[in-house]
Amino acid sequence: MTGAGDDEIIIEVKGLVTRFGSHVVHDGLDLQVRKGEVLGIVGGSGTGKSVLLNMILGLLTPAAGEILYNGRDMTTLNEEERRDLESEWGVLFQGSALFSSLTVRENIMVPLKEHVTMSRSLMAKIADMKLGLSGLPANAADKFPSDLSGGMKKRAGLARALALDPEVLFLDEPTAGLDPIGANRFDELIKDLSKTLGLTVIMITHDLDSLHAICDRVAVLAEKKVIATAPVPELEDNPHPWIQEYFHGPRGRAARAG
């Protein structure tokens, strides 16, 4: 566990309403993220986990509600203000979302080119350093995404997410597609990075092993809201039917036994 040092709120979602036409995904959703914690987000299919992430990131516009980052309402910022704040965030999307025509080093340099003015040689040195942080060998820098295994792509995507020394790291299903050994190693990497770099991590996952291994708290999406946010042991005692089925089904029992 990262052991968040205090209860300082870094991100707060208040009364979020998300609509696509007549379809309501979130209706009065509230969520608080504490500085320095690893927060997992879980929920059944169609509960809007990735939509919530995209709302916080500003990729979608809410129908109503506030999204606060360090007390500032992100929904009211102009483009330049938002761009400045977004440089404090790193994102690892599903599938890593690497540019196929760029080498791994060039992929990691993309955020630097967008947000920082410095020489290309310095960008390359920073990219190589982030590559090492993500656990990839130095010779991976000149490879293209097509040359990498699934686990290596995840790490390359993570290195790019860390390029700007973010305060908050967003992970969307980071262990999806990895075998159990690869997933465990990736969990350990996130755990180590959150400790050593003081990161706040928000992680959407369906991986019960990840929830048990690295999450300080877990937020549960159901009924168009966050119905509970607590450490895993407390959630296991929550009487809500979906939470009971999720944490006490066969996979939940296996994760606890592990």
CATH code for the domain of 125: 3.40.50.300
15 found inside a domain? no
Strands 64-69, 225-230: pairing kind:
unpaired
Tell me the per-residue pLDDT of 52-69, one tens digit each, with 9 for 90 and over.
999 999 889 999 999 999
Instruction: Give residue-wise pLDDT tens across range 149-174.
Output: 988 999 999 999 999 999 999 999 99
Is the full-model pTM beyond 0.85?
A: yes
pLDDT confidence bin for 257, thresholds 50/70/90: low
Residue 7 lies in a domain: no
> Which pLDDT tens digit goes with each residue over 16-58?
999 999 999 999 999 999 999 999 999 999 999 999 999 999 8
Domain that holds residue 47: 35-58+87-257
Quick check: is 76 in a domain?
no
pLDDT of residue 5: 45
Residue 201 lies in a domain: yes
Q: Distance between CA atoms of 220 and 238, rounded to whole angstroms?
A: 11
**In this structure, is residue 171 part of a structural domain?**
yes
Give the burial string for 43-63 (b: 16+ CB within 10 Å, else e). beeebbbbbbbbbbbbebebe
Place of tokens 């592990």: 258
Residue 97 CB partners (closer than 8 Å, separation 6+): 157
Residue 21 in any domain: the answer is: no
In a domain, 25, yes or no: no
**The residue type at 93:** F
**pLDDT over threshold 60, residue 251:** yes
Number of domains in the chain: 1
Judged against a pLDDT cut of 60, whether residue 137 lies above it is answered with yes
More confident residue, 80 or 217: 217
Residue 233 falls inside a structural domain: yes
Alpha carbons 158 and 171: distance in angstroms, whole number: 9
What does the pLDDT look like over 98-113, one tens digit per residue? Answer: 999 999 999 999 999 9
Reported as a single tens digit per residue, the pLDDT across 224-236 is: 999 999 999 999 9
